[in-house]
């Protein structure tokens, strides 16, 4: 104000404007200055692990104070640390195994939380874990000390946390309840892009990450279906977030889906194998390769540090059993139609309809299939998965199969 003010009137005008601005800001502050999701993100940097086979310290710098939750997981022994949503600036070199820590994963776990998972090379106990204020610089730091311990001590700590520790995104198991279909309800499709957030899924030969491919493909499939104008379409996720497998199933049931399609792109160690596969659920796998794919895909929760509570899926109810069987025959019908359509446009593996115990396909009342679009371990498949033109062809075939399935369902009066 000092030098900018000329005549008194100008000066007063400016002072008036300034006063008005301050006044407006004062009022606006509660609205505009409320920490938005982005402004609020905790920043983590200078991650460091040091120690030996007996005692290891983990240190990570934070730009602000934060609340922290932690718990242990077994097989393998892990320490899980939950923070508010955090943006991590961690150099890959700093993630190398050191001391007791053999592996570090981190990423978003829900809308407002991030998670770090430290795999430890054996049983351990947590000697201390906290966020403390830096003495000689600004900011805070997370410090965790872990000590190698007898298995019994680790088990004791696990038992203790079972009493009152924070549960990670507990999977809900809603009761089975078949609602009569509302007349005129549009055919509803739930698209489930596999993996996400902390769980990247498979990684391609030239670095393609499965969670990104499944999201791109799922979004394109949604857009194509919406364009038809006849369907209601939902996605289990439409951004880079982690979802437990049971949560995906829950979303399908909650949205009253007529069809659930889970999208994946796995890798395989056998050279030369390429092409798409359509899976349906079964307790007994069609073949060893299908069983291996299912157990890899079922690892998602485990990789993300979600405690798998053995939900009671065996509801002893004859009605549920009937519903399940009917749903299963619909799933198989759709899978066959899908194979028929896809094989017109894209490469498929031998015997492209296979089955195995996929946890994400276990909704008792929603016909469900899982599509492995191709193998990221195969350079040709990987290149195609990255090609929007190839994806458009595959999307088109899936749309055709859905259209046939939906029409049959309407004719059957379902
Ligand atoms: Zn997958």
**Centre of ligand 1 from the C-alpha of residue 160, in Å:** 34
Same domain, 247 and 394: yes
**Centre of ligand 1 from the C-alpha of residue 1, in Å:** 62
In a domain, 27, yes or no: no
Rounded Cα distance, 312 and 364, in Å: 13
Could you tell me the residue range of the domain that residue 402 belongs to?
A: 187-408
Looking at residue 30, its pLDDT comes to 33
Looking at residue 319, its pLDDT comes to 64
Rounded Cα distance, 298 and 6, in Å: 73
227-270 per-position pLDDT tens digit: 999 999 999 999 999 999 999 999 998 888 999 999 999 988 77
Same domain, 383 and 284: yes
Q: What is the CATH number of the domain that holds 280?
A: 3.40.630.40
**Centre of ligand 1 from the C-alpha of residue 238, in Å:** 16
Is the confidence at residue 20, as pLDDT, over 80? no
Looking at residue 285, its pLDDT comes to 93
CB 114 within 8 A of CB 84: yes
**Centre of ligand 1 from the C-alpha of residue 193, in Å:** 9
Which among 140, 168, 196 is the end of a domain? Answer: 168
In a domain, 295, yes or no: yes
Evaluate if pTM is beyond 0.85: no
Same domain, 145 and 204: no
Rounded Cα distance, 185 and 235, in Å: 18
**How many domains is the chain built from?**
2
**Centre of ligand 1 from the C-alpha of residue 240, in Å:** 14
CB 201 within 8 A of CB 263: no
**Centre of ligand 1 from the C-alpha of residue 165, in Å:** 30
Write the CA distances from 19 to 15, 22, 33, 187, 404, integer angstroms.
Answer: 6, 5, 19, 58, 67
Same domain, 154 and 193: no
Query: Which residues hold their Cβ within 5 A of ligand 1, which is an ion?
Result: 194, 201, 264, 297
Same domain, 217 and 325: yes
**Centre of ligand 1 from the C-alpha of residue 262, in Å:** 9
Confidence of residue 155 (pLDDT cuts 50, 70, 90): confident
Same domain, 148 and 242: no
**Centre of ligand 1 from the C-alpha of residue 201, in Å:** 5
Q: What is the CATH number of the domain that holds 162?
A: 2.60.40.3500
């Amino acid at each position: 104000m000092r030098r900018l003010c000329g005549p008194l009137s100008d000066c007063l005008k400016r002072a008036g404007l300034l006063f008005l601005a301050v006044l407006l800001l004062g009022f606006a502050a509660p609205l505009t200055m409320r920490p938005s999701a982005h402004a609020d993100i905790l920043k983590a940097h200078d991650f460091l692990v040091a120690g030996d086979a007996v005692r290891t310290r983990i240190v990570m710098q934070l730009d602000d104070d934060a609340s922290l939750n932690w718990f242990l997981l077994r097989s393998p022994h892990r320490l899980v640390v939950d923070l508010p949503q955090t943006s991590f600036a961690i150099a890959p070199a700093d993630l190398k195994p050191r001391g007791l820590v053999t592996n570090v994963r981190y990423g978003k776990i829900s809308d407002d939380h991030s998670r770090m998972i430290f795999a430890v090379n054996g049983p351990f106990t947590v000697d201390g874990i906290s966020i403390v204020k830096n003495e000689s610089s600004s900011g805070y730091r997370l410090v965790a000390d872990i000590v190698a311990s007898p298995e019994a001590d680790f088990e004791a700590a696990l038992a203790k946390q079972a009493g009152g520790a924070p549960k990670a995104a507990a999977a809900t198991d809603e009761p089975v309840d078949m609602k009569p279909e509302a007349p005129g309800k549009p055919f509803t499709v739930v698209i489930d892009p596999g993996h996400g957030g902390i769980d990247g899924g498979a990684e391609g030969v030239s670095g393609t990450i499965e969670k990104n491919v499944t999201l791109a493909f799922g979004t394109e499939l949604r857009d194509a279906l919406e364009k038809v104008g006849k369907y209601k379409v939902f996605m289990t996720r439409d951004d880079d977030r982690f979802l437990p497998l049971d949560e995906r199933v829950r979303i399908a049931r909650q949205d009253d889906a007529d069809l659930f399609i889970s999208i994946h792109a796995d890798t395989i160690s056998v050279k030369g194998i390429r092409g798409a596969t359509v899976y349906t659920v079964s307790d007994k796998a069609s073949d060893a390769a299908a069983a291996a794919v299912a157990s890899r895909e079922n690892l998602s929760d485990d990789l993300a540090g979600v405690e798998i509570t053995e939900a009671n899926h065996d509801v002893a109810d004859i009605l549920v059993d009937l519903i399940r069987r009917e749903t299963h025959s619909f799933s198989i019908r759709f899978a066959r139609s899908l194979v028929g359509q896809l094989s017109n446009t894209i490469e498929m593996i031998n015997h492209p309809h296979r089955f195995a115990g996929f946890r994400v396909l276990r909704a008792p009342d929603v016909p469900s299939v899982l599509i492995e679009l191709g193998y990221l371990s195969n350079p040709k498949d990987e290149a195609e998965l990255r090609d929007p033109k190839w994806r458009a062809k595959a999307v088109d075939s899936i749309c055709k199969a859905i259209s046939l399935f939906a029409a049959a369902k309407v004719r059957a009066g379902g």
